[in-house]
């Protein structure tokens, strides 16, 4: 029986989940028992997380066994399949969006004035994703629209949050 793509993904995620469940269980056992405070042993902080760690481990193992029975352990990791996955348009789009969004949230937000960071991000996002969709730089009217959306978003969000709802923005 040929394993489906989801069976292979389940095999990998089951290993991660089982390892995570074991880690939660071990860390729960390491939580303080508060013996020196004479607390009731049934209220120790690790009891519920430990139980959840055990359940997650069992669920991970159940999924692991199921994916093995369905042939998911044959991961079919060849240069062609990996290369095809990395080159697929959807993966490239997600990678671009991740780079832009993480760059804004971690690199610009809080470091530059809010309006400036936001305008730069929105403009870069619109132009870059449109360029990827078109396979070339978008035409000038589209770039002008991107600049307008960036300006309105930067100024508008700052006005609404800071002036109307009194939320202090960073930067």
Partner 1 sequence: MAGLESFLSAIAGFVTSFAIIDVFWATLLGIVVGMLPGLTATLGVALMTTLTFQMEADRAILILICMYVGAIYGGSRSAILLNIPGTPANAATSLDGYPLARSGQAGRAMAIATTGSFVGGLIGMLALAVVAPALAEFALSFGAFEFFWLAVFGVLIAGQLTALDDPLKGWIAGFLGLFVAMIGQEGIHAVPRFAYGSTDLAGGIGLLPAMVGAFGFAEILTVMRQQSYEVVRGKVGSIWSGVRQAVRYRITAIRSGLIGTFMGLVPGVGEDMGAWASYAAARQTSREKGQFGKGSVEGLMAAETGNNAAVPGALIPVLTLAVPGSAPAAVLLAAMIIHGIRPGPLIMIEFPDFVFSVVAMVFLATCAMFVLGLLLTRPLLLVLRVTRERLMPVIFVLCTVGAFAIASRTFDVWIMLVFGVLGFILRELKYPMAPLILGIVLGDILDKSLRRGLVLTDGDLTPFFTRPISIVLFGSALLFIILSMPGTRRLMARMLARRRNGDGP
Closest contact distance (angstroms) between CB of 11 and partner 1 is 11
Q: Which of 3, 7, 11, 24 binds partner 1 (CB under 8 A)?
A: 24
Determine, following the binding rule CB under 8 A, whether residue 5 of this chain makes contact with partner 1.
no
Residues 113-132, one symbol each (x = binds partner 1 by CB under 8 A, - = not), give -----x--xx--xx--xx--
Considering beta carbons, is residue 74 or 93 the nearer one to partner 1?
93
Q: Which of 3, 56, 64, 72 binds partner 1 (CB under 8 A)?
A: 56
* Residues 68-87, interacting with partner 1 (CB under 8 A): none
Q: Are 10 and 59 in contact (CB under 8 A)?
A: no
**Residues in Cβ contact with 4 at an 8 Å cutoff, skipping those fewer than 6 apart:** 70
Burial string for 135-145 (b: 16+ CB within 10 Å, else e) reads eeebeeeebee
Q: Which two tokens stand for residue 136?
A: 């070339």
Give the distance from CA 69 to its chain's centroid. Answer: 30
Strand spans (E) along 47-165:
none
CA distance 124 to 120: 6
Main-chain phi, psi angles of 109, to 5 degrees: -60, 120
Determine, following the binding rule CB under 8 A, whether residue 166 of this chain makes contact with partner 1.
yes
Residues in contact with partner 1 by the rule CB under 8 A: 6, 9-10, 13, 17, 24, 27, 31-32, 34, 37, 39-43, 45-49, 51-53, 55-56, 59-60, 62-63, 66, 90-91, 93-94, 97-98, 100-102, 104-106, 109-110, 118, 121-122, 125-126, 129-130, 133, 145-146, 149, 153, 157, 160-161, 165-170
């Amino acid at each position: 029986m040929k394993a489906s793509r989801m069976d292979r993904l389940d095999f990998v995620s089951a290993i991660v989940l089982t390892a995570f469940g074991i880690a939660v269980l071990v860390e729960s056992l390491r939580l303080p028992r508060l013996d020196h405070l004479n607390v009731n042993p049934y209220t120790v902080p690790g009891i519920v997380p430990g139980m959840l760690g055990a359940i997650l481990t069992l669920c991970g193992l159940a999924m692991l066994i199921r994916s093995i029975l369905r042939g998911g352990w044959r991961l079919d990791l060849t240069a062609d399949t990996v290369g095809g996955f990395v080159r697929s348009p959807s993966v490239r789009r997600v990678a671009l969006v991740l780079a832009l969004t993480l760059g804004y949230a971690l690199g610009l937000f809080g470091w530059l004035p809010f309006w400036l960071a936001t305008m730069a991000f929105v403009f870069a996002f619109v132009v870059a994703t449109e360029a990827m969709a078109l396979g070339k730089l978008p035409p000038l009217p589209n770039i002008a629209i991107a600049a307008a959306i960036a300006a309105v978003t930067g100024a508008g969000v700052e006005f609404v949050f800071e002036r109307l709802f009194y939320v202090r923005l960073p930067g």
